[in-house]
Amino acid sequence: MRGAASGPGARLLTVREVAARLSVRTATVYSLCSRGLLRFIRVSGALRIDPSEARKGQGNGKATLTLRIVLR
Residue 70 has pLDDT above 60, yes or no: no
What φ, ψ does residue 63 adopt, rounded to 5°?
-70, 125
Domain borders along the chain are 1-72
What percentage of the chain carries pLDDT values higher than 70? 64
Helix (H, G, I), strand (E, B) or coil at 58: strand
CA distance 18 to 29: 7
CA distance 31 to 34: 5
Fold of the CATH domain 1-72: Multidrug-efflux Transporter Regulator; Chain: A; Domain 2 (1.10.1660)
DSSP state of 13: B
**Residues 22 and 65: beta-carbon distance below 8 Å:** yes
Predicted local confidence at residue 4, as pLDDT: 46
pTM (2 decimals)?
A: 0.66
